[in-house]
Copies of this chain bind each other. A is one copy, B any other.
């Protein structure tokens, strides 16, 4: 069958079940009260004054009665510095556990060494926001029998809340914790900031282990994770290297091209009609997007304009703007720089928020629904403004869904920034390989060759033309780029589906097929 954006979707996958096709960005939300059930969180009980401490991570894992077919989850707040996911999966593998569903909030290059477990039946299902490096390649080449599911950060909460992901065990790395499991990422030698992604896991997992390299005197605060959800606590030598958080996608670019695009995007924002006192703002990770904040800051100072809140992946740049008084608050679901931990700990208007509050589509109003302006990156954009942030040229999985579709759906103005060409390959395409964020939620695409406004937003287009910006039809831009780099090579796929791209509401917006190796 075809879904609402004309992507071919199966209606059933053996081992997965019925597939609900994407039906529009807000179609399910419009129903208001949901038909979809939620699951009851587990009931537990402990006698007073018992210890939760275990000597090793292996001992803690053994105590949770790991079993074949179990689902285990992790957060990715340490990004490329994480040591705990690999350590835990190695232990489960050593214990002979098979058929594991891995439900990490995201996966990255630091996890490559678990790739072998995709081939020996240890890991047979994956839910994740992103996948990169060797593992992305392996999955794209068909390492698993069942497709992985790519979710957004908000969609992950929904999936756990509704029981689509049913967690047997979550293992939460924390840079400080006490013997009862009160834990945080805000202090300690491995401080990594917000623990926003773990909150839903801790609430729903049948067993919760907190792992720390900094066991502090009771009580550990802030209570990013409170003790009443924690079964076991274990102290280890190191949970990882927090200095590796701010790599790759989370550093402000030095590329002249990206800076030029960022400046253009800031001009778009300035003239959008939404750059007004009390506006709220988020920039995504990667490429030009983070750099937009720099130019927005300059414009705010010049206009003496004060915003409401900054949302999302939080950089040191966000903290500077908070401390300068340019914004009233930061809502921090994920810190993109370990250095922001100090602010998270000290500033009571730098607020750690769970992913549910950040972006879950099915509650009384997540923060992304209150967002005015978001700036996001893209691997590819098509002439319908659909965005691909998951598969690279060649059809391989190498990105992450993250909060892309969540923020695009919620923000009043969604600005996508990308160069029109990357490494001799067109970024503006007739048809993107994989859709993560639907075009109806994207308002404007900013490239070095011009600015394209979604025809759904004629007023915005008018504003930008009036401001003298280089506004162009996206079809024209696509053709111009194609003239320069030529028609793209057609990626060859087999029929096998290796990935489902879930929209935040649980419908399937696209599938990723197995790349045919030459």
Q: Which residues of A contact B (CB under 8 A)?
A: 26, 28-34, 36-50, 52, 161-162, 180-181, 208, 217-219, 221-223, 226-231, 278, 308-309, 328-329, 331, 345-346, 348-349, 351, 353, 356-357, 360-371, 409-412
Q: Which 8 A/B pairs are nearest by Cβ-Cβ distance?
A: A48-B369, A34-B43, A38-B40, A228-B363, A29-B45, A48-B410, A40-B40, A228-B357
Q: A49-B412, A356-B228 are in contact. Are A351 and B223 (CB under 8 A)?
A: yes
**Distance, CA A357 to CA B202, complexed state (A):** 14
Interface pair A363/B229, CB less than 8 Å apart? yes
CB–CB A48/B409 < 8 A: yes
Given contacts A227-B364, A349-B221, A364-B208, contact A40 B39 (CB under 8 A): yes
Contact of A44 among B362, B409, B411 (CB under 8 A): B362
The residue that A43 contacts in the complex, of B38, B223, B226, B365, with Cβ under 8 A, is B38
Contacts of A365 in B (CB 8 A): 46, 50, 52, 180-181, 227-228, 230
Residues of B within 8 A of A50 (CB): 365
List, sorted by A's number, 16 A–B pairs whose CB atoms are closer than 8 Å.
Answer: A29-B47, A33-B45, A34-B43, A34-B45, A36-B43, A37-B43, A39-B40, A43-B161, A46-B364, A48-B369, A49-B412, A180-B365, A219-B331, A227-B365, A228-B356, A228-B357
Q: A309-B218, A351-B223 are in contact. Are A363 and B44 (CB under 8 A)?
A: yes
**Contact between chains at A46 and B34 (CB < 8 Å):** no
Contact indicator A219/B308 (Cβ below 8 Å): yes
| Cross-chain contact of A221 among B43, B52, B348, B371 (Cβ < 8 A) | B348
- CB pair A228–B364 under 8 Å, yes or no, is yes
- The CA of A218 and the CA of B39, in the complex, are separated in Å by 32
- B351→A348 contact, CB < 8 A: no
Asked if A44 and B34 sit within 8 Å, CB to CB, the answer is yes
Complex CA distance for A41 and B127, rounded to whole angstroms: 23
Task: Verify B47–A30 contact, CB threshold 8 A.
Answer: yes
